[in-house]
């Protein structure tokens, strides 16, 4: 009886050890799939980040899954608009070079999120100013404004809207000849504004003009 009981205990312990050894390698895989499901199906990005982080911390020897987890963390942070994404990608590139596919994707994402180092080093934090002379007088109330590319000045004068190239063809410090916008008469130059792409000028808050040749349009107030 005692022998049977002893054998039963030993057999139970063997089964537990075998079962335990079988389960441990699966844990990180199951957790990874759960994290992906949370990210892609549940769309709970914050919870997914935490799940991926648990893989990174608890299974450091599973380099393939750690690299994948860092990559997915970066993607989650990107969707959240968080710059932490760059840190995750950089950590992946630096510490897991052997995971070539994940590293390649991480490098690509970094290049999208950060300007090239050369351009970054050339960015000046000090504003620069250029003084441009005009062979004509621009009234102080003209509401003059420069185009987004800095090549054309718009201003109001004599109840008309004018544009002038900056600089002109004669001298880099001298503006060119002004051109009156047809159809933009009897309006005030106050509130002149350029569109972000430099194609349109809005003036008097109710008119726009397509500089590629379109007509001046009246924008009716709501």
Domain co-membership, 109 together with 147: no
Whether 126 is covered by a domain: the verdict is no
Whether 94 is covered by a domain: the verdict is yes
Range of the domain at 168: 140-218
* pLDDT the model gives residue 167: 72
pTM of the entire predicted model: 0.45
Cβ density class 158-193: b for 16+ within 10 Å, e for less: eebbbbbebbbeeeeeebbebeebeebeebbbeebe
Whether 170 is covered by a domain: the verdict is yes
* pLDDT the model gives residue 72: 96
Phi/psi at 105 (5° precision): -65, -40
User: Minimal CA–CA distance to 68: which of 25, 44, 39?
Assistant: 39
What residue ranges of the chain have pLDDT lower than 50?
1, 6-7, 10, 14, 17-26, 221-222
Q: Domain boundary residue among 121, 156, 182?
A: 121
Whether 174 is covered by a domain: the verdict is yes
* pLDDT the model gives residue 147: 79
């Amino acid at each position: 009886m005692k022998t049977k009981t002893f054998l039963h205990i030993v057999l139970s312990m063997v089964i537990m050890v075998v079962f335990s050894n079988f389960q441990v390698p699966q844990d990180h895989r199951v957790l990874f799939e759960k994290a992906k499901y949370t990210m892609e199906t549940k769309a709970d990005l914050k919870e997914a980040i935490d799940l991926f982080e648990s893989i990174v911390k608890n299974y450091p020897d599973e380099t393939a899954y750690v690299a994948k987890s860092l990559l997915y963390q970066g993607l989650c942070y990107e969707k959240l608009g968080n710059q932490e994404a760059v840190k995750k990608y950089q950590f992946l590139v630096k510490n897991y070079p052997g995971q070539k596919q994940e590293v390649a994707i991480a490098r690509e994402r970094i290049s999208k999120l950060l300007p090239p180092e050369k351009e970054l080093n050339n960015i000046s934090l000090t504003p620069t100013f250029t003084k441009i002379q005009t062979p004509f007088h621009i009234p102080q109330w003209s509401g003059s404004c420069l185009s987004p590319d800095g090549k054309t000045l718009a201003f109001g004068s004599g109840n008309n809207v004018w544009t002038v190239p900056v600089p002109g063809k004669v001298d880099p410090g001298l503006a060119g000849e002004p051109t009156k916008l047809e159809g933009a008469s009897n309006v005030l130059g106050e509130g002149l504004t350029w569109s972000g792409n430099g194609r349109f000028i809005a003036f008097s808050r109710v008119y726009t003009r397509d500089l590629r040749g379109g007509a001046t349009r009246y924008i009716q107030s709501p």
